């Protein structure tokens, strides 16, 4: 898996004088079925989250409120994405290393996931991640 598969997906935005509405339909706006949704909030300033890759699952990461950065890596290259709009999602396929930082105060990070929670799907050690990339080549 390489970084070129990671992309910003622009979601529909219905705007009128009452405010904005965004919707997401599985297999239409994102390339997987949603089996799980989780969100992080009340992240203290300066804190970092993530620091892992997933063997199989895919995700879409959205800054529902406020902003934060997602740094994605494929073992060779790294790219920093700044998320600050509720109508942009960052698609992250499997075997991509991710770190989240630069959380603004009150930010909410929503994640749509292709699989149920399973700790076995995590690779939390960067050296093991690099080794797995070589083995999967």
Where along the sequence are the contacts to ligand TYD (CB under 6 A)? 36, 38, 40, 49-50, 117
CA 39 from centre of chain: 11
Residue number with CB closer to ligand TYD (36 or 130): 36
Smallest gap, in angstroms, from Cβ of residue 37 to ligand TYD? 9
- Residues in a beta bridge with 90: 8, 61
Smallest gap, in angstroms, from Cβ of residue 15 to ligand TYD? 30
Smallest gap, in angstroms, from Cβ of residue 63 to ligand TYD? 14
d(CA 115, CA 32): 10
Rounded alpha-carbon distances, angstroms, from residue 51 to 13, 25, 32, 34, 70: 31, 28, 23, 22, 10
Is residue 52 annotated as a catalytic residue, yes or no? Answer: yes
d(CA 37, CA 109): 11
Q: Which of 29, 52, 58, 76 is catalytic?
A: 52
Residue number with CB closer to ligand TYD (36 or 55): 36
Residue matched to tokens 């979601």: 11
Residue number with CB closer to ligand TYD (26 or 99): 99
Active site residues: 52
């Amino acid at each position: 898996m390489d970084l070129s598969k990671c992309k910003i997906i622009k979601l529909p935005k219905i705007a009128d004088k009452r405010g904005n509405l965004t919707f997401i339909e599985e297999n239409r706006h994102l390339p997987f079925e949603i089996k799980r949704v989780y969100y992080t909030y009340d992240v203290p300033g300066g804190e970092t989250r993530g620091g892992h890759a997933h063997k199989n699952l895919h995700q879409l990461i959205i800054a529902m409120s406020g902003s934060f950065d997602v740094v994605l890596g494929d073992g060779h290259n790294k790219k920093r994405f700044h998320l600050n709009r509720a109508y942009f999602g960052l698609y992250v396929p499997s075997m991509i290393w991710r770190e989240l930082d630069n959380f603004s105060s009150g930010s909410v990070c929503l994640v749509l996931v292709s699989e149920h929670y399973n700790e076995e799907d995590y690779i939390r050690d960067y050296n093991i991640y690099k080794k797995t990339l070589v083995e999967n080549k």
